[in-house]
């Protein structure tokens, strides 16, 4: 039977409430660390768009955060890392002397974050930190720093809250484990 005809069930891995609470905690921590600064949040498309939107709305309004986006693709519609992430969209503004926070939905093998850090650090930001909602440490092939991490998760097929399966299900409110039924 073709994969497209396989049926699946969803088991909640991280509930909407749990995610909301953790995002709030991360936002508080980030607000403390960037007090008096004007950070630039860089959302890594597509996966981070929901997390970034929620994170920014939980920030202390005193923080004058700006936002821009990059797009990087490692997996396309497949499930195996290309190991050579392709930068599909670059920033529209210079980051020299800026306090930059890269925001990812998930760090898996690590190649995407590694490529982004390499690309951005040569542009001489004042600081460059990273934030990811999810990490699958057991899948890591290159070591990358995650300064703010939402959840360490097991190596399961997940989707929702920005993460996808072949571009589907990004809008699910929970992060779910997708299981063949």
Q: How far is CA 168 from CA 46, 69, 85, 111, 165, in A?
A: 12, 21, 20, 23, 5
Nearer Cβ to ligand PRP (31/82): 82
* Set 17, 60, 90, 108: catalytic member: 108
All residues at 6 or more sequence positions from 58 whose CB lies less than 8 Å from its CB, including other chains: 23, 24, 26, 27, 28
Q: 139-168 mask for ligand PRP (x: CB under 6 A)?
A: -------------------------x----
Q: Does residue 104 bind ligand PRP (CB under 6 A)?
A: yes
Describe the crossing of helices 49-58 and 16-33 by its angle, rounded to 10 degrees.
60
Q: Does residue 47 bind ligand PRP (CB under 6 A)?
A: yes
The count of residues interacting with ligand PRP (CB under 6 A) is 21
Among 40, 44, 70, 128, binds ligand PRP (CB under 6 A): 44
User: Could you give phi then psi for residue 103, rounded to 5 degrees?
Assistant: -120, 115
Task: Point out the residues that are catalytic.
Answer: 108
């Amino acid at each position: 039977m073709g994969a497209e005809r396989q049926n699946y069930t969803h088991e909640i891995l991280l509930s909407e409430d749990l995610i909301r609470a953790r995002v709030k905690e991360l936002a508080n921590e980030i607000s403390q660390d960037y007090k008096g600064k004007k950070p630039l949040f860089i959302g890594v498309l597509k996966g981070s768009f929901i997390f970034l939107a929620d994170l920014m709305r939980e920030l202390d309004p005193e923080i004058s955060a700006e936002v821009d986006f990059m797009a990087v693709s490692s997996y396309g519609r497949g499930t195996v890392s290309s190991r050579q992430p392709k930068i599909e969209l670059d920033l529209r503004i210079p980051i020299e002397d800026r306090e930059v926070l890269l925001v990812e939905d998930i760090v898996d093998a690590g190649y995407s974050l590694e490529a982004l850090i390499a690309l951005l650090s040569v542009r001489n930001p004042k600081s460059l930190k990273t934030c990811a909602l999810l990490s699958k440490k057991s899948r890591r092939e290159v070591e990358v720093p995650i300064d703010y991490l939402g959840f360490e998760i097991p190596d399961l097929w997940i989707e929702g809250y920005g993460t996808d399966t072949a571009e589907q299900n990004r809008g699910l409110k929970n992060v779910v484990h997708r299981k063949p039924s």
